[in-house]
Structure 1
Amino acid sequence: MKTSSLNVTLLTTVAAVLSGLCITAHAEIQQLPTGAAARAELKKRFTAADIDGDGKLTREEAKGRMALVHRQFDAIDTARTGSVTLEQIEAHAHGRRARP
């Protein structure tokens, strides 16, 4: 009987924690910018990371400034130029290839 009660308590606790995580994740997703706001925020971050102002990010420029771009750099740099443009980052985010 004690094992059954312990299992119920454990399952209830796990369910409560998972429920809380789902609510938190949903709230965070709701706060993410979308559409024009997301594009403006991405452009702002890209411009700040583009240290030399050439309109492209090298792996080194992305490091520490745009962590996700840095981690996925090879997947974004489909042309293998050693740099990525804002258009390439957006295309990658939307699951398509940027125009050459």
Structure 2
Amino acid sequence: MRKTLLFTALALASGLVMAQQSAPAKPGVDREAARAEWRAKADARFAAADKDGDGQLDRVEAQGLSERLASNFDRVDANADGEISRDEMAAMHAKMRHHGRRGSHGMGYMRGLMKGMDDDGNGAISRAELGDKMPKLAENFAAIDSNGDGELSRDEMRAFHKARRAERQAAKTN
């Protein structure tokens, strides 16, 4: 009798745990948590790079944080005071993310991504330019490169993402 009660209690408890784990999360909750985590990591990286603790990055500190930041130092330093503040960094991230357009968050991100990784300025990303910066993109490089020229254009990336979105929608309806 005790064994039966024990097994029944365990079965019910495990069923409750499974139900809680499979319950869909509220929309936006996970996104906000991820955004907060990203901000915390970015703040920590900024603070670690700020060797003199003045709340701003000079050219040497920017070089220690990121080669890409150092090469774009003058663009990020909006007030041209020779240092990058957190506000200037946030403004650059917003500019890259939105690229001056409202409502086109994804396109601004893609445009910023292309611009940031296109070292030779030809409007496409080669395998060499991609390197190991974005493993998922590198993993799907051949599938995205529809014309086989060894470079990813914005149109190829747009078409790939559109096809993937259609696949996900089809999977949801089935």
Q: TM-score, normalised by structure 1?
A: 0.76
Q: Provide the C-alpha distance between the structure 2 equivalents of 1:85 and 1:73, rounded to a whole number of angstroms.
A: 11
Name the counterpart of 1:82. 150
Q: Provide the C-alpha distance between the structure 1 equivalents of 2:144 and 2:156, rounded to a whole number of angstroms.
A: 6
Question: 1:73 and 2:156 equivalent?
Answer: no
SS in 2 for 1:95: helix
Once the two structures are superposed, residues 15-73 of structure 1 have per-residue CA deviations (whole angstroms, 9 ceiling, x without a partner) of 11222xx316x424698x9x622101110011101111111111232233343321110
Q: TM-score, normalised by structure 2?
A: 0.46
Q: Which runs of 5+ in 2 are unaligned?
A: 36-97, 165-174
Deviates more, 1:62-71 or 1:78-87: 62-71
Q: Provide the C-alpha distance between the structure 1 equivalents of 2:131 and 2:18, rounded to a whole number of angstroms.
A: 37
Q: How many residues align?
A: 91
Over aligned residues, Cα RMSD in angstroms?
Answer: 2.5
- Answer with 1 or 2: which has the greater Rg: 2
Question: 1:54 and 2:122 equivalent?
Answer: yes
Determine which of 12, 19, 23 is the counterpart of 2:16: 12
Name the counterpart of 2:25. 23
Bigger RCO of structures 1 and 2 (CA < 8 A, at least 6 apart): 1
The answer to whether the 8 A contact 1:51-1:61 is kept is: yes
The answer to whether the 8 A contact 1:62-1:70 is kept is: yes
